[in-house]
Amino acid sequence: MAGKLNLEELKQLVSAGEIDTVIAAQVDMQGRLMGKRFQAEFFVDGAWEETHSCNYLLATDMEMIPVDGYKATSWAKGYGDYVMKPDLATLRRIPWLEGTALVLCDMLDHHDHADVPHSPRAVLKRQLARLEAMGLKALTASELEFFMFRESFEAASDGGYAGLTPISAYNEDYHIFQTTKEEDVMRAIRNGLHGADIPIENSKGEADAGQEEVNVRYAEALTMADRHSIMKNGIKEIAFAKGRAVSFMAKWTTEAAGNSCHVHQSLARVDGTPVFYDPEQPMAMSETCRHYLAGLLAHASDITYFLAPYVNSYKRFVAGTFAPTKAIWSTDNRTAGYRICGAGTKAVRVECRVGGADLNPYLAYAAMLAAGIDGMEKKLPLEPEFTGDAYGGAGREIPKTLRAAADTLHQSTMLRAAFGEEVVDHYVHAARWEQSESDRVVTDWERRRGFERA
């Protein structure tokens, strides 16, 4: 695949003067890339083995505030170091940054070099190890949506993120003429990501003015989560270079549709044989597929926090906007939270439509896998398929607020068994901090509503 490197190839490119910078990045709780830019010569001389970062990076909020109350790290413990261990399987060129390569890092304890259990990559790896013990592997694909604006990031910030102008004036869902106007940015995104070992399938206009979607090929779950994080960062960097702002907020404005991250998922044997497919079963959904989906549904509320991690995330769940309000399943039905795609074929798979573009892919994938594994282990029966308009029908509601999702996460015996008590407590604390900050802050809506009339 274009862009992929091994260490020897990197050394040759550094020696030839083609690469002068290597980004070593970890993924934080919010799914962002955090790390260092190395002089390439220093990286290939030895920094490729390991480097370090402050352990507060896995205990901050979106504003990078060190949040009190985490057990893993605190002011009382002095905010020490974690080891950043480059995973050389993720080493690649970054075509949109001159002379630059990037490698993702696992987070290890500074003393014993064990995985930091609440680090996002470790959370996902734990569930993948459970599958491996069953002779299985997970395949996933993220469909990322975002809005693009005529303004730059600096102009958006200077204006207080008010009065922003979407790049198009009307709904551009599948619209070729409108997306032609945006092609200078979107072509750079497709080609740039493709050149960074992220195999792009296509881009398209989405279901509102200025909304875009980028689709990538199905891959093993850890590879896809890595690609998701790099892709999201890369889209921002490429848009920045083109003088445009983009946003992956779940709901950037009340009037527009939300940004989704639909996650397609299936399981295969280690040799690649699909295990969700059984031509003798209705819709070719195997018993394994049915048990897996039953687990997703049984634990839908437990895992919602990892699909919708912010107060804003829950404002996306609005009827009639293609964002689901019910955690039910249906075949090729975009009103349901869980949709069966590829029914009747070897490509039969589950699409989770609950997640927003603000999710952390490692945590979201891990939570869904944990729920699905529980369904397989307990051989949970699959409830009857829903048909029709899920917005108006009866069924299991998606939690309506972050507060409700955090409470359900806290009480989840399934996730505590799958992730570990301390990991769940870590993310419950993150959720409750996010909620408390929202509760504390006076909003523009409150001022407009009550300044004169209260």
Q: Considering only CA atoms, give the Rg of the chain.
A: 22
Euclidean distance between CA atoms 310 and 339, whole angstroms: 24
Residue 301: predicted pLDDT: 98
**Homologous superfamily assigned to 7-116:** Glutamine synthetase, N-terminal domain (3.10.20.70)
Residue 1: predicted pLDDT: 62
Euclidean distance between CA atoms 158 and 50, whole angstroms: 38
Residue 60: predicted pLDDT: 95
Q: Which residues contact 57 (CB under 8 A, 6 or more apart)?
A: 26, 28, 34, 82
Q: What angle do CA 127, 131, 132 make, to 5 degrees?
A: 115
Residue 219 tokens read as 């891959």
Residue 340 tokens read as 């069966």
Residue 52: predicted pLDDT: 96
Domain(s) labelled CATH 3.30.590.10 in the chain stretch across 127-446
User: Which ranges of the chain have pLDDT less than 50?
Assistant: none
Euclidean distance between CA atoms 390 and 322, whole angstroms: 11
Predicted confidence (pLDDT) per residue in 138-197, tens digit: 999 999 999 999 999 999 999 999 999 999 999 989 999 999 999 999 999 999 999 999
φ, ψ at 68 (rounded to 5°) = -65, 155
Euclidean distance between CA atoms 278 and 286, whole angstroms: 5
Residue 135 tokens read as 């002779």
Residue 164: closest CA among 250, 234, 247: 247
Predicted confidence (pLDDT) per residue in 404-419, tens digit: 999 999 999 999 999 9
Residue 129: predicted pLDDT: 98
pTM, rounded to two decimals: 0.97
Domain(s) labelled CATH 3.10.20.70 in the chain stretch across 7-116
Q: Does domain 127-446 have CATH number 1.10.287.1060?
A: no
What three-state secondary structure class fits 367? helix
Q: Which residues contact 132 (CB under 8 A, 6 or more apart)?
A: 270
Could you tell me the CA-to-CA distances from 202 to 143, 187, 212, 254, 416 in Å, in that order?
10, 10, 11, 28, 38
